[in-house]
């Protein structure tokens, strides 16, 4: 298995620094990805992202479909953009744009979220109170890269596991509702 520095396989782009708080706009021309939008899902679709109005000429952080988004401070999570809507990244995230066609963006996000990836990231963190990853440190992060077929198999496995977790969570919610409603009927 080959191993590459993150800067060898991706272009690392720092998110856009807003001069003030992001002003939501229902008719905004861009959706904004912030650190809070990176959840345990492997993908970001844009459905729940804040919309805002920005002048396109001032933005160098436009996100492409299949870009990997990595939070730059706090808890370090990664997800892949699965949307063709106009989006930008805030300064609380990095855009990792895969340069090598033999690297699956979903595999990269899975690796960064894995125990091994998080262990490597923890060695790059700076700051005592608010943990952050300086861009310079991020460039040296080593990424093990299996064959394309192995990457695809890893992605399928992780997607299946995530799907199973969602089904179990839903099942627990249904059982809890049944339990609560049964108790209400018995007590009334």
Query: What are the residue ranges spanned by the domains of the chain?
Result: 2-145, 147-188
Please tell me the distance from the alpha carbon of residue 167 to that of residue 126, in angstroms, as a whole number.
Answer: 38
Please tell me the distance from the alpha carbon of residue 96 to that of residue 93, in angstroms, as a whole number.
Answer: 10
What residues pair up with 87 in beta bridges, in sequence order?
A: 31
CATH node for 2-145: 3.90.220.20
User: Which value, to the nearest 10 degrees, does the dihedral of the CA atoms of residues 78, 82, 88, 92 take?
Assistant: -10
| 58-72, 135-149, 155-169: least confidently modelled range | 58-72
- Tokens read off for 148: 């394309």
> What is the per-residue pLDDT across 89-116, written as a single tens digit (0 to 9) for each?
888 999 999 998 899 999 999 999 999 9
Q: Is the pLDDT of residue 58 over 70?
A: no
Res 26: pLDDT: 80
Identify the burial level of 28 via C-beta atoms within 10 angstroms of its C-beta, where 0-12 means exposed, 13-18 middle and 19 or more buried.
Answer: middle
Mean predicted confidence (pLDDT) in 73-94? 90
């Amino acid at each position: 298995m080959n191993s590459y520095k993150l800067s060898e396989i991706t272009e690392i782009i720092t998110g856009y620094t807003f001069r003030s708080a992001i002003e939501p706009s229902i008719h905004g021309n861009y959706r904004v990805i912030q650190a809070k939008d990176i959840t345990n899902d492997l993908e970001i679709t844009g459905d729940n992202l804040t919309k805002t109005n920005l002048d396109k000429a001032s933005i160098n952080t436009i996100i492409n479909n299949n870009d990997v988004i990595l939070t730059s401070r706090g808890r370090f999570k990664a997800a892949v953009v699965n949307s063709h809507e106009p989006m930008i990244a805030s300064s609380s995230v990095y855009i990792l744009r895969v340069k090598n066609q033999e690297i699956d963006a979903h595999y990269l996000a899975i690796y960064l979220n894995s125990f091994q990836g998080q262990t490597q990231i923890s060695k790059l963190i700076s700051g005592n109170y608010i943990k952050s990853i300086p861009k310079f440190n991020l460039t040296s992060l080593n990424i093990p890269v299996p064959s394309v077929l192995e990457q695809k198999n890893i992605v399928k496995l992780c997607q299946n596991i995530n799907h199973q977790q969602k089904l179990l969570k839903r099942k627990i919610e249904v059982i809890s509702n049944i339990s609560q409603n049964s108790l209400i009927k018995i007590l009334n």
